[in-house]
Structure 1
Amino acid sequence: MFVFSVKPVFSILVATLSLLILFALLSPPSSSPFSQIPLSGKPPLLGEVDIWSVRRLVEWRPCNWWLQGHQTALPLETNGYIRVDCYGGLNQMRRDFCDGVGIARLLNATLVLPKFEVASYWNESSGFADVYDVDYFIEQMSGFVKVVKQLPPEIASKEPVHVDCSKRKGQFDYIESVLPSLLEHKYISITPAASQRRDRYPLYAKAALCQACYKALRLTRSLETKASQLLDAIPKPFMSLHLRFEPDMVAYSQCQYPGLSPTSMKAIEAAQIDRKPWTGELARIWRRVLAFGEEEEEERKKRGLTHSDTPHFAESNTHPTFIAQSRVCLSQKNKEESKETMGWIGETIDSIKSIQIRQLLTQAVSLGMIVTSALIIWKALMCITGSESPVVVVLSGSMEPGFKRGDILFLHMSKDPIRAGEIVVFNVDGREIPIVHRVIKVHERQDGEVDILTKGDNNYGDDRLLYAQGQLWLQRHHIMGRAVGFLPYVGWVTIIMTEKPIIKYILIGALGLLVITSKD
């Protein structure tokens, strides 16, 4: 039975596995919505860092300290009911509500579903239940703070006493400032103070706040579905740009805006007084306030943006897509490139064009280190086993039914005498491929040399016809090792790659291309 040493193929397999490992390390998770190849083929300038191709060494992991260890039990009796009144944008309302959850736990109060402001600039009337999954929130907050959907009848008929902490200056104590009102009226509404340091809360109150912020607030199913559809539709990668100088912000802002014309200042003052969306002439003035000018109106329409800084931001960055004022924006160059790009082939070509020399060298060095480490491991196995080829693949069927074509054998060559019945792998002078057969006879000479005769289990005669011309016995130096274990069928990969080299070259080439074009 002929065998094939894994040593040459081992290097090929190691290189292939190394490419796979590099590809896995350099590629984000496929389920991530940000893992697609960028549309832009424009490489960064020399010295700049392309954040999309930098190798991601670690992943951000959520903190869950409040879920570890013993949780402080809720008191049996409550001091009253608290409703959190939330104002501003959704993120601000979410922040205030989470603060209110911590305050409710701090004051041993039962939490009522919050009130979202409905008289805001955009006249948005969505309440808490329209945005978040109420049942899920109540379930997740169990054990952290008591939450009710409806007040008891004797409480529900009353309006809560409002305690506004939002304008408090400096540090103050909620227990001293708010608890007396809660104990007196049993039902209060509160606007948390944005300046209050949350690290001053006791651990059980901070645990309630963190549970609400990071675990319990989940969008309703309909909003979650729409958000997923939106993320799937946006070309990746993208960056969201939050424009702070917007009509709704100006309407509630107390800031001064020097340097604007009297007409622009009139539009801003009107917004601050009426707090209503601009239409008609005021809307046109607002576009001028944003420094776009009437002569640039057509250009503004092409961009689809409303902030003078946004085009400059887009030009100074390599992000192919960004979001500003709820608009998905692509540069004209990116639009043309995206039309010309056809499927995987086009994306691969774009990726090759955008490769940085430093990135390529880094990947090559990493691959070289992995291959070198694998070869060192191979040499170490040779030293440990005493065999020049610790692993071989069976190529023929002369040892059936014990070993079949495609089995992998593990060899060991100790100093113990070779015995009849052992299975050995040996070299024959003039033959390049080793043979694995069973020892059927051992003869020890007077000078200490050992003559060995072998035979295949599936052959009729011994192996003297396979030995070199005139050779009747094998000596110890012909033996590569004893077979001490095997894996069935695994060696077929080596056989296929050896008999059909084109498959080997295609596999290595494809994996190499994936490594070169992969980006974070």
Structure 2
Amino acid sequence: METSTNKNTLKEKFKSFNKKKVIISILLISIAFFGSFFVYFILQISLNTPTPVVVVVSGSMAPNINKGDLLFIQGKDAEDIKNGSAIELDGDVIVFDAWGLEGWVFAPQDPVVHRVIDKWLDGSIWYFQTKGDANPLPDPVPVPEDRVLGAVIGGIPFIGWIKIVLTDTGLVIPLLVIVSTLLVITIIWDIIKGEDAEKDESTENEKEMKKY
């Protein structure tokens, strides 16, 4: 009977450990998923912009800012955005939405990262003339202040290539599905393994009981 009691104790410990493992796995997945949204939300608030980070998807700002760089953006009042020139390259680098901007044919859907080379006030609206450092000509139309998402305040080189490769190859959604599926399978496997272990322990206990 002492042997049976010990096995029951081990069984309960294993069952408890397995449940804890499943709960911890679910918690970690939830933290990773919701944590990324929380961090992004905090960045939006602290940097005063709906788009606090962007990935550079072209080489128009090389060599100062390169394709694949991850940039941090801070919202600025239009009057505080620094003016500059195409020669000195001393103006703020701003991020703006050019998609649908009147007069800009084939405007990119991704946010544009270009330098301010001129600015002026028309009535109550600020306009910015922008240009990529590597481009021979300025952008085709001025950018009104309501299209500006913010100014670049820093960045991490090359890390944005992960996003570019996944987006260009169309692997973002399939990769998310695969990772999510593997995580779910792992949790289910732990549960099934625990149930099988319980059945084995129960069978062993029955055999032990028959001996007495």
**For residues 437 and 376 of structure 1, do their structure 2 counterparts lie closer, same or farther at Cα, with a shift above 3 Å needed?**
same
**For residues 434 and 500 of structure 1, do their structure 2 counterparts lie closer, same or farther at Cα, with a shift above 3 Å needed?**
same
- Does the alignment pair 1:475 with 2:151? no
In the TM superposition, residue 371 of structure 1 has moved relative to its aligned partner by: 2.0
Report the AA paired with residue 383 of structure 1. Answer: I
Contact 1:385–1:414 under 8 Å retained in 2: no
**For residues 50 and 501 of structure 1, do their structure 2 counterparts lie closer, same or farther at Cα, with a shift above 3 Å needed?**
farther
1:428 pairs with one of 70, 83, 98: 98
Partner of 1:402: 64
CA distance in 1 between counterparts of 2:171 and 2:124 reads 49
Once superposed, which parts of structure 1, at least 4 consecutive aligned residues long, lie more than 3 Å away? 361-366
Q: Which runs of 5+ in 1 are unaligned?
A: 1-46, 57-358, 465-471
CA distance in 1 between counterparts of 2:183 and 2:45 reads 35
User: Larger % of strand: which?
Assistant: 2
**For residues 411 and 380 of structure 1, do their structure 2 counterparts lie closer, same or farther at Cα, with a shift above 3 Å needed?**
same
Report the AA paired with residue 501 of structure 1. Answer: G
In the TM superposition, residue 448 of structure 1 has moved relative to its aligned partner by: 3.2
- Does the alignment pair 1:419 with 2:97? no
- Does the alignment pair 1:456 with 2:118? no
CA distance in 1 between counterparts of 2:54 and 2:171 reads 22
In the TM superposition, residue 477 of structure 1 has moved relative to its aligned partner by: 0.8
**For residues 383 and 507 of structure 1, do their structure 2 counterparts lie closer, same or farther at Cα, with a shift above 3 Å needed?**
closer
**For residues 367 and 419 of structure 1, do their structure 2 counterparts lie closer, same or farther at Cα, with a shift above 3 Å needed?**
same
Report matched runs for 1:277-356 at 5 Å. Answer: none
Contact 1:438–1:454 under 8 Å retained in 2: yes
Partner of 1:53: 18
Partner of 1:202: none
CA distance in 2 between counterparts of 1:491 and 1:475 reads 27
Contact 1:427–1:435 under 8 Å retained in 2: yes
- Does the alignment pair 1:372 with 2:34? yes
- Summarize deviations over 1:470-515 as a string: whole Å, max 9, x none: xx32111111110110111111111111112337624651464156
Secondary structure of 2:37's partner?
helix
Secondary structure of 1:493's partner?
helix
Secondary structure of 1:380's partner?
helix
Report the AA paired with residue 93 of structure 2. Answer: I
- Summarize deviations over 1:264-313 as a string: whole Å, max 9, x none: xxxxxxxxxxxxxxxxxxxxxxxxxxxxxxxxxxxxxxxxxxxxxxxxxx
**TM-score scaled to structure 2, two decimals?**
0.66
Partner of 1:485: 154
Contact 1:452–1:473 under 8 Å retained in 2: yes
In the TM superposition, residue 364 of structure 1 has moved relative to its aligned partner by: 4.2
CA distance in 2 between counterparts of 1:373 and 1:506 reads 19
Larger radius of gyration: 1
Report the AA paired with residue 496 of structure 1. Answer: V
Partner of 2:114: 437
In the TM superposition, residue 444 of structure 1 has moved relative to its aligned partner by: 1.9
Partner of 2:170: 501
CA distance in 2 between counterparts of 1:434 and 1:506 reads 24
Partner of 1:113: none
CA distance in 2 between counterparts of 1:510 and 1:365 reads 16
RMSD: 3.0
Report the AA paired with residue 476 of structure 1. Answer: E
- Identical amino acids, percent of aligned pairs: 28
Q: Which runs of 5+ in 2 are unaligned?
A: 1-11, 84-90, 101-107, 195-212
Secondary structure of 1:373's partner?
helix
CA distance in 2 between counterparts of 1:383 and 1:506 reads 30
Secondary structure of 1:501's partner?
coil
Partner of 2:200: none
In the TM superposition, residue 400 of structure 1 has moved relative to its aligned partner by: 0.6
CA distance in 1 between counterparts of 2:99 and 2:165 reads 27
User: Larger % of helix: which?
Assistant: 2
In the TM superposition, residue 370 of structure 1 has moved relative to its aligned partner by: 3.7
